[in-house]
Amino acid sequence: MKAKDFLSSQTSLSAGKRARLVRMLYEYGPGNGTLLLLPLDQGLEHGPLNFLDNPAAADTNFQFKLAIEGNYSGIAVHVGLAEKYFPQYAGRIPLVLKINGKTNVPSDKKALSPLTATVADAVRLGADAIGYTLYVGSPKQAQDFSQYLEVRREAEKYGMPIIMWAYPRGEAIDEKGGRDSIYAVDYAARVAEELGADIVKINVPKAAKPGMPESYVRFAEGKTEQQLTDKVVASAGRTLVLFSGGSKVSDEDLLTKVESCMQAGATGLIFGRNMWQRPYDQALAISKKVHEVMARYGS
């Protein structure tokens, strides 16, 4: 959904949410109604192993400087990094405070991401949005929904936009095609809209997988990845869509992904490892190329 259409259609959007969204959409980053976010939640979610290929990136200043010099729309971090590093960069880059998280040590069969911070923390730190991970399909889904309900109430109270990391997880998801199947990602996009997220972060969907509901098997037959990507953007409705980058890929593959996602109607991209796992100069260079693609889209 185009940013201008989102803003005009959301007549009940509070002044606080609108101001924060406009700042990220039009005053930072590409500045044309698209979003390019740099996430650094992987240190908690994956552990320090993600920094082994580029040890310089273990210093959080690396990502903050990249976000500013690379002209990103915002940087997403957990509360500890926000408190320790963001003050020296405040006013130069929007902050997305990630308010829940977990390690990857336990199994994802009953995944739940507990709260690690609050919406009030986001306001105190000067954030322009919060990030919340919701595990669609997890056996812990009822607890997740209840936790999210309280977060949404607080976000409305403070005028804080919600970016939902809508991630299919759990045994049932694994049995029905897996977390990246078109069935799972499409469902996640719809859940974000149904639960009131302003922006949803999802993965690019894959084609038919064993175990998927038969209706999705039929739907996906003969479809290209582009058509599947179009479908999940449509399912998000009046929720802005960010596609994640995932594991590091080549420059060519990354730029192809950018083009495909933006062509599908995504609002933007949230690329972490694909950026900061590169040496700094290379990270800046690929960021510039991503901007060149995104310049052809937006509103």
**Residue positions annotated with a catalytic role:** 167, 201
- Produce one character per residue of 205-238: b if its CB has 16 or more CB atoms within 10 Å, e if not: bbbbbeebeeebbebbeebebeebbbbbbebbee
Could you give the 3-state DSSP secondary structure of residue 76? Answer: strand
- CB-based contact 182:216 (threshold 8 Å): yes
Could you give the 3-state DSSP secondary structure of residue 9? Answer: helix
Structure tokens at 93: 């880059």
The Cα–Cα gap between 76 and 135 comes to: 18
Count, residues in the chain: 299
Residue keyed to tokens 């730190």: 125
Alpha carbon 72 to chain centroid distance?
Answer: 14
- C-alpha torsion sign, points 64, 65, 68, 70: negative
- Could you give phi then psi for residue 165, rounded to 5 degrees? -80, 95
Of the candidates 47, 26, 71, 42, which has an alpha carbon nearest to the alpha carbon of residue 273? 42
- CB-based contact 242:200 (threshold 8 Å): yes
The Cα–Cα gap between 5 and 20 comes to: 16
Structure tokens at 2: 């185009």
Strands 268-270 and 35-39: parallel
The Cα–Cα gap between 298 and 268 comes to: 9
